[in-house]
């Protein structure tokens, strides 16, 4: 927490989040467990708080989740992630919707050396899983967006450092999520966080936050309620601590499926919850138990000075990424280097993936990452390009993409050539073809379907149909393999939730089709269930929904507004024939999940999300 007092640590040159001593403790605790001195339940609760999550595979397979506070990664950290992916995982990492990076199929005894390599670069897995304060997210355009009120990054980082390893942070009834947004548009989903902070400015220019509390999705969708209309930025540590104290004291530790803070608020009511919060906030203030946040970050993110690194040549990049080894099990990234990108492809990429910064002469550029999967060699190339063309950092987005910042306007074409050579030159960032998906049944114990298989299919189909992408006009698709919503399907224009249908003695993978979700400065609206369709027919459902929007939209009506206001009965009628499936008209492929070869045999295991 000492870094909170050192303003030089905020932004590009921030201090480490790691602690080597706790890795030593992890090893000692694992040894105790293996000697039988610690129960399986005790070990599970311990390792989850250290970011090590058991997969559905019976053999030794762990998911290692790395926190990326505010989604900010330095070049050195990218190189560390690349090494961990290559040495201890499948040769690639997975970007999550909460700005984390996950590695799957990691051996339990490889967790220690992986953690140590990450720690060398200042990264930690601490409180990335378990009943803890999870990664604190922030707008990926913070500091450079032309329309932001102010840069929220220093405040989100300060709160990260205050709560990381805080006595309450890993002793909560359930996980706790916090998000920061500085732009008028919501790029991070603040209303679906337990605490959401949106930047506002006072009449005198003073920095403050509009604060909401109690948001979430999964089996109880709730938009965060207004906690503070105008909270001075100096008070954010006290507000967070007061909320955590109430949750820690009154939260439900017994019922795993209903112990998020939103359930506490529903049970005792907003009025009583607010009274409890106000009392705790007064204690934080009057007793001086929690300090105010006294930082004065610069009005504008400073421009990077100095000579930038030389850039690798496209041919060398293509050779490297093509030689980079990835392995299964599961769906693996298919890297297609492109060395001769034509003008039309570049123009399309520039129109969808590049936006100007507030700083004159600079732009942001998005590297679209299908399924959020990025190979180790691609991570190394990204690090080199960030140093050669940007400010030496990238930002991770909630859409599972990567943002380069501080790109000189005259360097955009050269950056694109190199991204294309790395297999990362896809256009359509922020469009319906940029599909978001959770890991699904490939590794998750709770998932019903292989959501990544559906995500891969939809991305491929939509990229083959630029007319559909254009007609969808910014609609977003998000997929989850179960109701928990790690793919954020509840707040998608078109969302898909994995489920199972029984057809006689056999199982058919299917998806709940949900429409009309989204998050804005006004709060969250949640997608409504419109149909239940076999997985193999989902691409046809997407085409019909896009066509419906194209035919019936009002002048200037966005896809989000159209689907939010659409009568669900109309959607159900539109998709009714796709819902129907009888033993007589079923084909063999209907009984095989997308991305799989064997017959669909769903097995929902006890999850570790609420251990």
Task: Tell me the percentage of the chain whose pLDDT exceeds 90.
Answer: 91
CA–CA distance, 448 with 112 (Å, rounded to integer): 30
314-421 fold? Sulfite Reductase Hemoprotein; domain 2 (3.90.480)
pLDDT at residue 609, as a whole number: 66
pLDDT, one tens digit per residue, over 168-190 is: 999 999 999 999 999 999 999 99
| Torsion angles phi and psi, residue 493, rounded to 5 | -55, -50
pLDDT score recorded for residue 368: 98
Q: Are 129 and 51 in contact (CB under 8 A)?
A: yes
SS3 assignment for 136-199: CEECCCCCCCCCCCCCCHHHHHHHHHHHCCCCCCCCCCCCECEEEECCCCCCCCHHHCCEEEEE
- Confidence (pLDDT) at 603: 85
137-286 CATH? 3.30.413.10
The class level of CATH for 436-591 reads: alpha beta
Instruction: Please check whether residue 397 is in contact with residue 412, taking contact to mean a CB–CB distance below 8 angstroms.
Output: no
The per-residue pLDDT for 305 is: 77
Which uninterrupted H or E stretch holds 384?
Answer: helix 376-389
Q: By three-state DSSP, how is residue 269 classified?
A: coil
Confidence class for position 160, pLDDT limits 50, 70, 90:
very high
The Cβ of residue 399 has, within 10 Å, a number of other Cβ atoms equal to 22
CATH class of 2-120: alpha beta
DSSP letter for 422, please.
T
Instruction: Please state the pTM of the whole predicted model.
Output: 0.96
> 528-545 pLDDT, tens per residue?
999 999 999 999 999 999
Cα Rg of the chain (Å, integer): 23
Contact 215, 524 (CB under 8 A): yes
Predicted local distance difference test score (pLDDT) of residue 608: 75
Q: Residue range 289-299: average pLDDT?
A: 90
**Residue 37 pLDDT greater than 80, yes or no:** yes
**Structure-token pair, residue 321:** 């990424």
The domain spans of the chain are: 2-120, 137-286, 314-421, 436-591
Over the stretch 47-104, which tens digit does the pLDDT of each residue have? 999 999 999 998 899 999 999 999 999 999 999 999 999 999 999 999 999 999 999 9
Give the per-residue pLDDT at 610. 57
Is residue 7 predicted with pLDDT exceeding 60?
Answer: no
Three-state DSSP state, 267 = helix
Kindly list the distances between the CA atom of residue 468 and the CA atoms of 176, 431, 514, 540, 544, in Å, as whole numbers in the listed order.
38, 10, 19, 12, 10
- Answer whether residue 3 shows pLDDT above 80: no
DSSP conformation letters of 474-521: T--EEEESSTT-TT-GGGSSEEEEEEEEEETTEEEEEEEEEE--EEET
Q: For the segment 560-582, what is each residue's pLDDT rounded down to a tens digit? A: 999 999 999 999 999 999 999 99
Q: Do domains 137-286 and 436-591 have the same CATH topology?
A: yes
What's the pLDDT score for residue 5? Answer: 45
pLDDT band of 4, cuts 50, 70, 90: very low
Asked which of 133-137, 206-210, 256-260 is least confident by mean pLDDT, the reply is 256-260
């Amino acid at each position: 927490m000492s870094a909170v007092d050192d303003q030089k640590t905020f932004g590009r040159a921030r201090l480490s989040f790691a602690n080597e001593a706790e890795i030593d403790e992890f090893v000692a605790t694992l040894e105790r467990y293996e000697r039988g001195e610690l129960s399986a339940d005790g070990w599970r609760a311990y390792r989850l708080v250290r970011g090590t999550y058991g997969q559905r595979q019976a053999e030794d397979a762990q998911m290692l989740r790395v926190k990326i506070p505010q989604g900010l990664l330095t070049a050195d950290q990218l190189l560390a992630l690349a090494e961990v992916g290559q040495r201890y995982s499948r040769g690639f990492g997975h970007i999550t919707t909460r700005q984390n990076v996950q590695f799957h199929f990691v051996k339990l005894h490889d967790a220690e050396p992986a953690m140590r390599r990450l720690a060398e670069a200042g990264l930690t897995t601490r409180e990335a899983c378990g009943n803890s304060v999870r990664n604190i997210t922030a707008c990926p355009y913070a500091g450079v967006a032309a329309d932001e009120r102010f840069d929220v990054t220093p405040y989100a980082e300060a709160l990260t450092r205050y709560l990381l390893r805080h006595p309450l942070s890993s002793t909560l009834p359930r996980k706790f999520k916090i998000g920061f947004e500085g732009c008028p548009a919501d790029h991070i989903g603040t209303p679906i966080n337990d605490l959401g902070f949106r930047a506002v400015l006072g009449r005198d220019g003073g920095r403050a936050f509009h604060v909401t509390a109690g948001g979430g999705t999964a089996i109880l969708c709730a938009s965060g309620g207004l906690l503070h209309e105008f909270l001075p930025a100096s008070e954010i540590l006290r507000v967070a601590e007061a909320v955590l104290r109430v949750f820690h004291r009154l939260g439900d530790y017994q019922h795993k499926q209903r112990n998020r803070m939103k359930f506490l608020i529903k049970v005792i009511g907003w009025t009583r919850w607010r009274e409890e919060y106000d009392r705790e906030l007064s204690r934080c203030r009057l007793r001086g138990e929690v300090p105010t946040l006294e930082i004065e970050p610069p009005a504008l993110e400073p421009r990077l000075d100095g000579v930038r690194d030389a850039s690798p040549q496209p041919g060398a990049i293509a050779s490297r990424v093509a030689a980079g080894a990835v392995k299964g099990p599961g769906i693996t990234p298919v890297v297609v280097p492109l060395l001769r990108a034509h003008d039309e492809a570049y123009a399309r990429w520039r129109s969808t993936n590049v936006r100007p910064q507030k700083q004159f002469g600079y732009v942001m550029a998005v590297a679209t990452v299908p399924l959020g999967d990025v190979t180790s060699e691609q991570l190394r190339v990204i690090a080199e390009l960030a140093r050669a063309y940007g400010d030496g950092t990238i930002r991770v987005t909630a859409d599972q993409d990567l943002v380069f910042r501080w790109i000189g306007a005259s360097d955009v074409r050269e950056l694109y050539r190199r991204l294309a050579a790395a297999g990362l030159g896809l256009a359509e960032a922020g469009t319906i073809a940029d599909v978001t998906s959770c890991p699904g049944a490939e590794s998750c114990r709770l998932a019903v379907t292989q959501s990544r298989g559906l995500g891969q299919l939809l991305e491929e189909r939509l990229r083959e149909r630029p007319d559909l992408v254009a007609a969808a006009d910014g609609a977003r698709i998000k997929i989850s393999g179960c109701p928990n919503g790690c793919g954020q399907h509840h707040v998608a224009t078109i969302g898909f939730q994995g489920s199972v249908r029984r057809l006689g003695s056999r199982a058919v993978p299917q998806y709940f089709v949900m429409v009309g979700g989204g998050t804005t400065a006004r709060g969250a609206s949640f997608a409504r269930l419109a149909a239940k369709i076999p997985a193999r027919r989902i691409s046809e459902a997407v085409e019909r929904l896009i066509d419906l929007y194209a035919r019936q939209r009002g002048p200037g009506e966005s896809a989000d507004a159209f689907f939010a206001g659409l009568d669900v009965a109309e959607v159900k009628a539109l998709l009714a024939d796709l819902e129907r499936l009888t033993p007589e008209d079923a084909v063999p492929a209907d009984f095989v999940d997308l991305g799989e070869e064997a017959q669909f045999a769903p097995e929902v295991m006890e999850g570790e999300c609420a251990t």
